A and B are shown apart, each in its own frame.
Chain A
Amino acid sequence: MNLEPKNGAPTPANEPAAALAPVDDVLTTSGEPSRVLSAFSGESAFIVAQRMAKALSSSSLLPETFRNNIPNCMIAMELANRIGCSVFMICQNMDVIHGRPGLRAKFLIATVNASGRFEPLRFKWEGKPGTDDYGCRAYSKDLRTGVPCEGPLITWGLAKSEGWVSKSGSKWKTMPEKMFMYRAGAWWTDLYCPEFGMGMGTAEEAIDTYGEPVVSTPAALMPGTPAALEAALTATAPLVTADGEVLSAPETAKASGKIKAPVDDDPEPGSNG
């Protein structure tokens, strides 16, 4: 297997092919064992992957978690490589909930459906509506063996006892049907093809467990980097000679004029001695 067709990111033409040496046998979504190239298999592979990640991270189409974040992009590339899908899809379908990455249930279900290993996931409802026993189960069939594959039943009782319903802003209160199907699909995947989830919980489950995701933060609130501020502060320092002569006045960024600074400058702290 080659890294290039999997994640869509081109391999630099001038890089030796050996730089991305196959290192691992894994099961891809198609079910075929494949030789996977890992960015973490060696120095050359790492350097190539780092260049790819750098290019990727500069895309304005990426979610905040990945934008200008080379390490996160490298992890996304690694996941895409192992699952066998586009790295862009990974970026678009991965949420970081309080520092924990999770793939969206919708993405996992789509991955199962596209894998060619199973019939598309279906859902059935069991129990009496309105009771704790009422719930949803995902099911499918192994295309190779014809064996039916039934997932665990997700019930109201389970959702309540796990605390999913009582979380502030819980979607289980506002869109329970969709949440049942997402959770049933995710748990089905966890049992029959756990490699799709790469050991991560789903983003929805992380929200149910840990609260609202970071991605709910409006982009306008996101910070600049501390390094940039440090550089700006350093850059605005006046040049002063050993004799105390100021050679260049500090150049602050252009003020928008919304707020004017007070006229008095830099008095000593007061003391009533």
Chain B
Amino acid sequence: MVDSILDLPNGVHRDVAPAVYHAPALGVVSKTALDKIHRSPAHYKAWLDGTDAEESSEALEFGAAFHCALLEPDRFAAEYAIAPDFGDTRKTDKTTKEDAKANKTRRDEWRTANAGKQPLDAFDANCIAGMVAAVRQHPLAGKMIRDGVSELTLKWRDSETGLTCKSRLDRYVEGHAMILDAKSTLDARWEAFRKDIAKWRYHVQDALYRSAAVELGIPVQYFVFLACEKLPPYAVATYTLDADGIGRGYSAARADIDLLATCVRDNVWPGYPVGIKEIELPPWA
């Protein structure tokens, strides 16, 4: 087991621990790193140094749990524990002090019994089970996840800057030359999801992963976003980005990689441009 992504040779790797993969390293290109440097080099440096605001949110944790349940059910079973409803652990109008104390004791006992596992509350667990079932029953998505390999780590060298790059494919289905990326969302409709693509820069992810595949000689024809809604009826939609979107993602990724290379070379990490810019209301206001 390696301690750092930098210890791995360039190529395709399975069984790289999530903590090892996600650990930031100076000058290593990843989707997250590009998002940070895109905001500003100062944001990238703060993320690298661990001094940025804590990013882990309920949405991210939910998304990670959904990924795990859908694509790595064995790991989900081993690493997640679904917490029962313990009731109020503080005295309220409806809960006596004694009941609150008993609830707290039950909760603590459960936590001890499931130490080392990631807790998932019953509501979220129910939603995730519903989402997984919806994907499996979907006429196309169900087939997409039937074959393939999950959580592949790719490592390569960017030929233009020499920077080390990494990406982690949710699922790769060689038979269809397809990368599958599962996204949990509140609204999987076409109009809403394309806003998600722009907001979360999924097009950059698409281009970066395609670039990785090209560099490593992995056949990729399709990069499919499998969007599943988080709430009943857990509607599922599948999308592939058009050529224009991939092109824009590639251009954006290229610009971000070049900026990262420049910052690493000069060891200069500026924030936003200095100056007074006129600001206008958004078009919808």
Give the B-binding residues of A (Cβ under 8 A): 64, 96, 98-99, 168-169, 211-218, 220-224, 226, 228-230, 232-234, 236-237, 250, 252-256, 258-262, 264, 266-273
B192 at the binding interface (Cβ < 8 Å): no
Contact assessment for A233 and B148 in the assembled complex, using a CB-CB cutoff below 8 Å: no
| B244 on interface, CB distance cutoff 8 Å | yes
Q: Is the CB of A232 within 8 A of B247?
A: no
Q: B222 to chain A: closest CB distance in Å? A: 5
Q: Is the CB of A258 within 8 A of B77?
A: no
B47-84 Cβ-contact flags toward A at 8 Å (1 or 0):
00000000000000000000001100111111011100
The reply to whether A233 and B143 form a contact with Cβ atoms under 8 Å apart is yes
Q: Find chain B residues with CB under 8 A from A212 CB.
A: 251, 254-255
Q: Beyond A232-B176, A267-B73, A267-B74, is A218–B250 a contact (Cβ under 8 Å)?
A: yes
Beyond A223-B240, A224-B222, A259-B12, is A271–B77 a contact (Cβ under 8 Å)? yes
Beyond A229-B222, A261-B147, A261-B148, is A223–B243 a contact (Cβ under 8 Å)?
Answer: yes
Contact between chains at A223 and B241 (CB < 8 Å): yes
Q: Hey, which chain B residues are within 8 Å of A233, CB to CB?
A: 140, 143-144, 176
Known A223-B221, A234-B140, A252-B147; further 16 A-B contacts with Cβ < 8 A: A64-B243, A212-B251, A213-B247, A216-B251, A221-B246, A222-B246, A223-B243, A258-B174, A258-B217, A259-B172, A261-B147, A261-B148, A261-B174, A264-B74, A269-B129, A271-B82
Mask, B157-185, CB within 8 Å of A = 1, is 00000000000000010111110000000
Instruction: Flag if B143 contacts A272 (CB, 8 Å).
Output: no
Do A272 and B149 have beta carbons less than 8 Å apart?
A: no
Q: What are 29 inter-chain pairs, A to B, with CB distance below 8 A?
A: A214-B244, A214-B247, A217-B251, A220-B214, A221-B210, A223-B241, A223-B246, A224-B177, A226-B222, A228-B221, A229-B178, A233-B140, A236-B143, A253-B174, A256-B219, A258-B218, A259-B12, A259-B152, A259-B172, A259-B174, A259-B218, A269-B70, A269-B76, A269-B77, A269-B129, A270-B74, A270-B78, A271-B77, A271-B129
CA distance A253 to B220 in the complex (A): 13
Q: Does B146 contact A (CB under 8 A)?
A: yes
Contact between A214 and B248 (Cβ–Cβ < 8 Å)? Answer: yes
Which residues of chain B are within 8 angstroms of A256 by Cβ–Cβ distance? 174, 219
Which secondary structure dominates where chain A touches chain B? loop
| Nearest-neighbor residue (CB-CB) of B256 within chain A | A168
Closest Cβ–Cβ distance, residue B148 to chain A (whole Å): 6
Min distance, Cβ B215 to any Cβ of chain A, angstroms: 10
Q: Which residue of B lies closest to A230 (CB)?
A: B140
> CB-nearest residue of chain A relative to B120?
A272
Task: Pick the 3 closest A-B CB pairs, nearest first.
Answer: A270-B77, A252-B175, A214-B247
In the complex, the answer to whether B244 meets A96 with C-beta atoms within 8 Å is yes
B251 to chain A, nearest CB (A): 4
Mask, B243-281, CB within 8 Å of A = 1, is 110111011001100000000000000000000000000
B201 CB within 8 Å of chain A: no
Min CB gap A11→B, angstroms: 31
Residues from chain A with Cβ under 8 Å of B244 in the complex: 96, 98-99, 214
Asked if A169 contacts B222 (CB within 8 A), the reply is no
Contact present for A221 and B214 (CB under 8 Å): yes
Are A222 and B243 in contact, with the CB atoms below 8 A?
yes
Say yes or no: is B125 at the interface (Cβ < 8 Å to chain A): yes
- Is the beta-carbon distance between A269 and B132 smaller than 8 angstroms? yes
- Collect the chain B residues with CB atoms within 8 Å of residue A169's CB: 255
In the complex, are the beta carbons of A260 and B149 less than 8 A apart? yes
Contact B250–A269 (Cβ < 8 Å) = no
Q: Once the chains bind, are B174 and A268 in contact (CB under 8 Å)?
A: no
B74 adjacent to A226 (CB under 8 Å): no
